[in-house]
Amino acid sequence: MSLELDSPRTVEVSQRGLTARQAIADRVFRIGLVAATLTFVILIAGLFAELVHGSWESLVAFGPKFLWSSEWNPVTNHFGALPFIYGTVVSSAIAILVAGVVGIAAAVFLAEFAPPAVARPISFFIELLAAVPSVVFGLWGLFVLAPFLGSTVDPFIQRYLGFLPMFSGGIYGIGLLTAGLLLALMIVPTVAAIARDLIQAVPNELREASISLGATRWETVVHVVLPSARAGIVGACVLALGRALGETIAATMVIGNRPAISASLFAPSYTLSSVIANEFTEATSSLYLSALLELGLILFVISFIVNGCARILMWSMLRSQGRRP
């Protein structure tokens, strides 16, 4: 006993809990983790600061009017962002509506109803779809999807729903609806894959409880399984929506690139990211360049607001279910 106490190593361990070497390693490790985490904060803050700095000239020249002005004229140096905000928001809204419905439906089928022999290969294809480069989607959208919609689907919709302003006007194949659907196709794997995992993670005990009370499989999914996974599925949709908002090349290839606001979804439009990509190289005046950067700032803020709202929504959902957010 006394021998052990005399040993310096034992004394050190009993006093500090760690040897000096362990303490240093522990400290280095912790600093490393904090630094890695801080990188994100610094990146976001730096990006925001740089966007504000770069768009300062435009911010000063146009003020808040930039947000609701529809004019985009590099010749007269008059710039407004409204058509691009409209194009971005509407195309992304179409995308998330379609991808949300299709993605969740596919996830329910894969997680609840499909036998493993079917679910496994399909899940693999869904993940494969997520890995297709967006420029390939864009090419396919331009040469296959747009002509198909323009010649078949759009006229069909217009024949029966043409009285609605959103389905009126000329049909070009390329336009808001085509861009929205192409974006939907690109983000649906995200929704489906994450929602499937979340549905599978719902405890089986809840399904059994529901079935044992005389509920059908369908009622169990709608009333118990989906509500249990609801907060996470909203999160998956927001992740997907983020990708749709920022997606540049595929949207650029099929949206028509015309800075105009039209009630019709068949009309060409323009997105924030598309106009930046298209016009960056030809932005000759400093005000022009600054206006483009301000579009980037707006896109940044929109994404920020969308994510913030989703957080609040998820938080309130978890709270209403009595779980800790």
Partner 1 sequence: MILAADGGTAGIQAGAEVKVRVRDLNVYYGTNHAIRDASLDIEQSQVTALIGPSGCGKSTFVRAINRMHDLTPSARVSGSVEIDGVDVYSRRVDPIVMRRRVAMVFQRPNPFPMSIFDNVAYGLRVNGERDRVRIAGLVEDSLRRAVLWDEVKDRMSDSGITLSGGQQQRLCIARVLALRPEVILMDEPASALDPIATVKIEELIAELRRDYTVVIVTHSMAQAGRVSDRTAFFLDGSIVEVGTTTQIFTRPKDRRTEDYITGRFG
Q: What is the DSSP string of 203-231?
A: -HHHHHHHHHTT--HHHHIIIIIHHHHHH
If the CB atoms of residues 177 and 202 are measured against partner 1, the closer one turns out to be 202
Q: Which is nearer to partner 1, 75 or 117 (CB)?
A: 117
Closest separation in Å from C-beta 153 to partner 1 = 38
Among 37, 76, 115, 163, binds partner 1 (CB under 8 A): 115
Q: Give the binding-site size for partner 1 (rule: CB under 8 A).
A: 23
Residue 195: left if φ>0, alpha if ψ -120 to 50, beta else—which one? alpha
Residues for the chain: how many in total? 325
DSSP 256-274: B------S-TTS-B--HHH
Is 207 one of the binding residues for partner 1 (CB under 8 A)? Answer: yes
Binding-site member from 182, 193, 194, 224 for partner 1 (CB under 8 A): 224
C-alpha atoms less than 13 angstroms from C-alpha of 38 in its C-beta half-sphere: 6
The C-alpha atoms of residue 182 and residue 106 are separated, in whole angstroms, by: 18
Two tokens, residue 281: 């190289």
325 makes contact with partner 1 (CB under 8 A): no
Considering only 227, 239, 260, 278, the residue that binds partner 1 (CB under 8 A) is: 227
Closest CB 208 distance from partner 1, rounded Å: 6
Least distance from C-beta 323 to partner 1, angstroms? 6
Q: How far is CA 75 from the centre of its chain?
A: 34
Which of 10, 320 has the CB closer to partner 1? 320
Closer CB to partner 1, 206 or 239, in the complex: 206
For residue 165, what is the DSSP state?
G
Q: Which is nearer to partner 1, 76 or 212 (CB)?
A: 212
Q: Does 117 bind partner 1 (CB under 8 A)?
A: no
Beta strands 72-73; 78-79: pairing state: antiparallel
SS3 260: coil
If we measure between CA atoms, which residue out of 300, 228, 253 comes closest to residue 81? 300
Quote the radius of gyration of the chain (alpha carbons, Å): 26
Residue with Cβ nearer partner 1 (95 or 202): 202
**Residue 118 binds to partner 1 (criterion: CB under 8 A):** no
Minimum distance between the CB of residue 230 and partner 1, rounded to whole angstroms? Answer: 9
- The answer to whether 281 and 72 are in contact (CB under 8 A) is no
Q: Which listed range, 22-30, 43-51, 218-226, 266-274, lies at the site for partner 1 (CB under 8 A)?
A: 218-226
Candidate ranges 64-72, 99-107, 136-144, 223-231; the one touching partner 1 (CB under 8 A): 223-231
